[in-house]
Chains A and B, each alone.
Chain A
Amino acid sequence: MIHLKNLSKTYSTEEVETTALNDISLEVKEGEFLAIMGPSGCGKSTLLNIIGLLDSFDSGSYAFLEKEMFGLKERDRALFRKQNIGFVFQNFNLIDELSVYENIELPLVYNKIGKADRKVRVEEAMERLNISHRSKHYPQQLSGGQQQRVAVARALVNKPRLILADEPTGNLDSKNGNEVLELMTELNSQGATIIMVTHSSYDAGFSSKIVTLRDGIVVGEKVNQRQIEII
């Protein structure tokens, strides 16, 4: 599904030039649950943002569903993004002015799904994540765990082929964190491809493959024997 080949990215400020990603090659197959690990500043979020088409890269190649993404215009990237990718962030990134329902509905609106259809799908997602009773509430009225469930619901409501999660448990306590991770495993088992950035090896344990980055270089890649079973 995803082929990265010799991908590099540097950030430059007025004084210094930082290499965030250095010659990365990576393959993610459809249905995989990939965890990207590594210390702070190793480039894992940058990698995720590039895969999510939120950020650009300087050299190398990135093929998504066998289509080259290098040099794609913003408009086309947006199109790709909204059709194929769902995002879950550490800080949830919900829109404060919109209710739970409206937040979840957004990707469907941008994909020009009809209103009736939207309603069915949003309600389905809310039910699945057990937040139906909060549908009219605003993000600030919810706990962190609930907010992240809304974010996950928003990520999956459009049935994307790829879900990108950037430290989804970073702002949650262990109980709520577990719930979110279980949810992702479940989504994965139903066929969604998931890439998750984390620096917790506990979290990474939920994935099927772990890639470790250090200073923008892939230093390890191992297939994970699942330690935690889903009941």
Chain B
Amino acid sequence: MINSWLKIFLRNLKKRPLYPLINTLGLTLGITCFILVILFVSKELSYEKWNPNLAHIYRPIRLFDNGEVWTTSPGIMVKTAKEQLPELEDAMMMNWMGSILFNSDGKKLMKGAMGTTPNFFDFYPYPFKYGTKENLFKNENELVLSDTFAYELFGDTNPVGKTIEALFRNQPITYLITGVYKTKGYPSETQPAILKLIKKTDNMDHWGNFNYTALFKFHPGTDIGSFISKFDKFYDENTYKSWGISWEEYLKGKEERMSIENLGDIHLFSKVHKGKGANTIFILSLLAFLILVISSINFINLSISGSTQRAKEVAVRKTLGTSKTKIVLQFIFEVTLQCLFAIVISLALVEILLPLFNSLMNSELEILDPYNKWLWALGIIGLLVFIAGIFPGIYLSNFNPVKVLKGNFGRSKSGNTLKKTMIIFQFCISAIFLISAFIIKSQLDYMNNKDLGFQKDQMLFVPIQNGGETWKKMETFKQELTKLKGVEKVATTTRPPGTYAGNGSNSNVDYREISYQSDMHFIDADYFPTMGIKLSEGKNFIQDWMQTDRSKFTMDSDGDTLLLNEIIVNKKLVDKFGFENPIGTEVSYWGYKGTIIGVVDNYISKGFDEGAYPALYMNYLKGDDGDWGKPSFVMIKLNNQDVKTTLNEIEKFWTTRIEPRFPFKYEFLDQNFAELFSQHERLEKLVTGLSILMIFISLLGLFAIASHTVQLRYKEVAIKKTLGASEKELVFGLIKDFILITIIALIIALPISFYLSNRWLQDFAYRIDIPIAPFLIAPIVMLTLTIAIILVQAVKALKLDLVSHLKYE
């Protein structure tokens, strides 16, 4: 039987290759997209899932009433929790220690090192490539490396037991490599290139210093729900005691609480993402699923259209006594053959397209990654294929053989309605995505061109890597840099706008009884002029360094000593506090009482998702005590002439005069700032690409259906022509149904697109109003394409041979 099915399938393929070809092509495209996205989603969902202790590991977090989330913890809290909370089996903590500069065979490599407690590998049980997880982190001179970084440093050789010369915090150190752990196949947010023993510092002992990333491991069977409230109380009780204030007083100021979240939730579902962490994979999955559905619909539509040409075969088979089931099975068999073919081609396409997709998505996906959800992918594809096959099967098997054999077949109303509904669905979805792509593009253009409140063009910034030495001569360096040809202005800051704007401290700023969180910046006097940030009131700083005069201090109401200071704030902070005359107003923060000497305009520092945030600016702290309050970036404003030469000059100057032993790193502010919305840019590219693909697949289907429908109407056209219908009347008669379908689809699509676009735009603090153009352009584009495709078919119908179509059906 299968033999006979196969024979018939192949002969039909030879006779009428158009339908199966279009069918398979559309399906191939759909499946390819779907698999690519599944690979991406698989990777995203696989973070930490390999960890056998996953269920028992949680990260402490701090939730603020205003929605802010901190994912770090005080060191003392972690230590105390382990002692006082019996639910904990273990606790670990880690933090970034700064960069280590390695000198490996004359090759300079600089990499950030993660300090950790020695139990890191109890929490993250990565397997070891070299060495074992025992006896690590005995002292600060021992390092564990990731396999990728070990390869960069040592190539393929086993480095365990080897020593390497390095510079850390400007001190030469010889490090001993004690282990290399494997990262590939173990997706995690925590895969530091270098692990070393955490250094005990005094900021570990303060209950208000949230500097460490901590993880708790619970005893199996712990009731997490009741632990959370206990945990918050534990923190409060310890903290108020350490601060030496009364319980009531502490509670009055409490506007946050401690909580925990599971390790497995960190990547996508952390509270820090505010419920939007999985948005990208959600949107992607939806897109991929829809594209698969659209190609399946094509499949169904084309199969039904094509199947009418098979009606006679089915009728004869039925007359000869085949059961309905067998006819359905035969069609499923044919569909399965086409689908298998499509899947095989798709896999090849995926392999070809994966590098491109990886660079678009900034990912490193591979077909054979162990966590890929192939079962899901094939399951969903299989299900859709089954539905796509069973539809035409049932449709055909329901034919009345007598009618078919007498020739009264081909114009079943129900089949037409089904086909039309599906085309409407396809067009509707395509239109929605086309419009959405336009809107996302508009918002991106807006973000690229909006006045940010500062100069982002021709602005170079260079991180200071060798703090201690560089800071000492910062003023001279600035002057000499300014003298270089092509350099206009030079300034320094701790917190440039762009991807680094999130780094740095926040603090409560208090004015009488009112208190708001504010972004804290240390800057020099050249910062605002260099960045083109406008001072709207008052004056700028006149010096770069704060000469802390310890004789000038004041006492606050609690009797604490506050150092006097001059500060500049932004408008948002003034608005929050409602200062009418901000200049001269004194606010307190950290250990300072700051007098406002100037107010600057708000500028967009962290991207377009968040609105303006209160900001406070002060001079750097003078003195040798640590990294706190010292410049971390040099901002260099270039003029437009020959940027390349200027850049070379700066590099030469930087690597010979300022930081000789360090690799020169730089970024351009506009590019860095664009990274803030690279995710949106990716979304735009994806939605545009996929919507074009969707339209292509839909039109492919439309083309086949139109040609089929028009063919079915050849006799009608011939009769009408005989009766004297004009060409205009005939063409209109043929295309009007399709135009109507397109218009219905567009009418449904417009409000949905409007709603979705509005939803998407709501997440931006700075956004466009929904433009009207996409709602006009997209329909026009789709109508034009539809009409073009159908016109071709209709015009073909006009040329038909009247006589033969009048005689025969």
A residues with CB within 8 A of B: 45, 49, 52, 54-55, 75, 78-79, 81-83, 87, 89, 91, 93-97, 106-107, 110-111, 140, 154
Contacts and interface: CB of A to CB of B under 8 A. Distances in A.
Contacts of A154: 723
B640 interface: no
Contact of B802 (A45, A54, A75, A107): A54
Contacts of B807: 45, 91
Scoring B719, B724, B725, B809 by chain A CB atoms within 10 A of each residue's CB, the highest score goes to B724
Contact of B724 (A49, A83, A140): A83
Given A45-B807, A78-B725, A93-B719, 19 more contacts: A49-B802, A52-B722, A54-B722, A54-B806, A78-B721, A78-B724, A79-B724, A81-B722, A81-B723, A81-B724, A83-B724, A89-B806, A94-B719, A95-B716, A95-B719, A96-B411, A96-B716, A97-B716, A140-B408
Contacts of B724: 78-79, 81-83, 107, 110-111
Contacts of B722: 52, 54, 81, 87, 93
A218 to B, nearest CB: 21
Interface in B777-809: 802-803, 806-807, 809
Interface residues of B, number: 20
Main secondary structure of the interface of B (DSSP, over half): helix
Contacts of A54: 722, 802-803, 806
B727 interface: yes
Nearest to B799: A74
Nearest to A91: B807
A49 B803 contact: yes
Interface in B693-726: 715-716, 718-726
B205 interface: no
B83 interface: no
Contacts of B720: 95, 106, 110
A156 to B, nearest CB: 13
In the complex, the 7 A-B pairs of residues with the closest C-beta atoms, listed nearest first: A82-B724, A110-B724, A107-B723, A54-B802, A93-B719, A81-B724, A110-B725
Given A55-B803, A89-B806, A97-B716, A110 B411 contact: no
Contact of B727 (A75, A82, A97, A140): A75
B726 A110 contact: yes
B364 interface: no
Contact of A78 (B408, B726, B809): B726
A110 B722 CA distance: 11
A43 to B, nearest CB: 13
Contacts of B716: 95-97
B417 to A, nearest CB: 13
10 contacts: A52-B722, A54-B802, A54-B803, A79-B724, A82-B724, A93-B719, A107-B723, A110-B726, A110-B729, A111-B724
Nearest to B725: A110
A79 B723 CA distance: 10
A55 B411 CA distance: 28
B543 to A, nearest CB: 89
Contacts of A75: 726-727
Interface of B: 408, 411, 715-716, 718-727, 729, 802-803, 806-807, 809
Nearest to B807: A91
Nearest to A96: B411
Contact of A106 (B411, B723, B726): B723
A16 B718 CA distance: 27
A140 B411 CA distance: 11
Given A96-B411, A111-B724, A55 B802 contact: yes
Given A93-B715, A110-B729, A82 B723 contact: yes
A136 B522 CA distance: 87
A94 B408 CA distance: 13
A75 B730 CA distance: 13
Nearest to A54: B802
Scoring B411, B723, B802, B807 by chain A CB atoms within 10 A of each residue's CB, the highest score goes to B723
B803 A97 contact: no
A81 B722 CA distance: 7
A91 B727 CA distance: 24
A91 B718 CA distance: 13
Nearest to A77: B724
A93 B806 contact: yes
Contacts of A79: 724
A14 to B, nearest CB: 16
Contacts of A106: 720, 723, 725
Nearest to B720: A106
B783 to A, nearest CB: 25
A123 B2 CA distance: 57
A89 B806 CA distance: 8
A110 B720 CA distance: 9
Scoring B408, B802, B809 by chain A CB atoms within 10 A of each residue's CB, the highest score goes to B802
B807 to A, nearest CB: 7
B48 to A, nearest CB: 62
A106 B722 CA distance: 11
A106 B730 CA distance: 12
Nearest to A83: B724
Contacts of A89: 806
A69 B802 CA distance: 18
A140 B407 CA distance: 11
Contacts of A95: 716, 719-720
Nearest to A151: B719
Contacts of B809: 91
A95 B726 CA distance: 17
B411 A97 contact: yes
Contacts of A78: 721, 724-726
Nearest to B719: A93
A110 B806 contact: no
Contacts of A91: 806-807, 809
B341 to A, nearest CB: 35
A136 B454 CA distance: 75
A97 B709 CA distance: 13
Contacts of A93: 715, 718-719, 722, 806
A110 B725 CA distance: 5
A87 B727 CA distance: 19
Contacts of B715: 93
Contacts of A83: 724
B561 to A, nearest CB: 94
Contacts of A107: 723-724
Contacts of B718: 93
A82 B809 CA distance: 23
A83 B726 CA distance: 12
Nearest to B727: A75
Contacts of B803: 49, 54-55
B367 to A, nearest CB: 51
Nearest to A79: B724
B716 to A, nearest CB: 5
A67 to B, nearest CB: 16
B265 to A, nearest CB: 59
Contacts of A82: 723-725
A96 B718 CA distance: 13
A76 B802 CA distance: 16
A87 B724 CA distance: 11
A177 to B, nearest CB: 19
Contacts of B806: 54, 89, 91, 93
A142 B727 CA distance: 30
B88 to A, nearest CB: 77
A157 to B, nearest CB: 10
A89 B718 CA distance: 13
A44 to B, nearest CB: 13
Contacts of A111: 724
B452 to A, nearest CB: 62
A97 to B, nearest CB: 7
A158 B721 CA distance: 15
A140 B802 CA distance: 22
Nearest to B407: A91
Nearest to A107: B723
A55 to B, nearest CB: 5
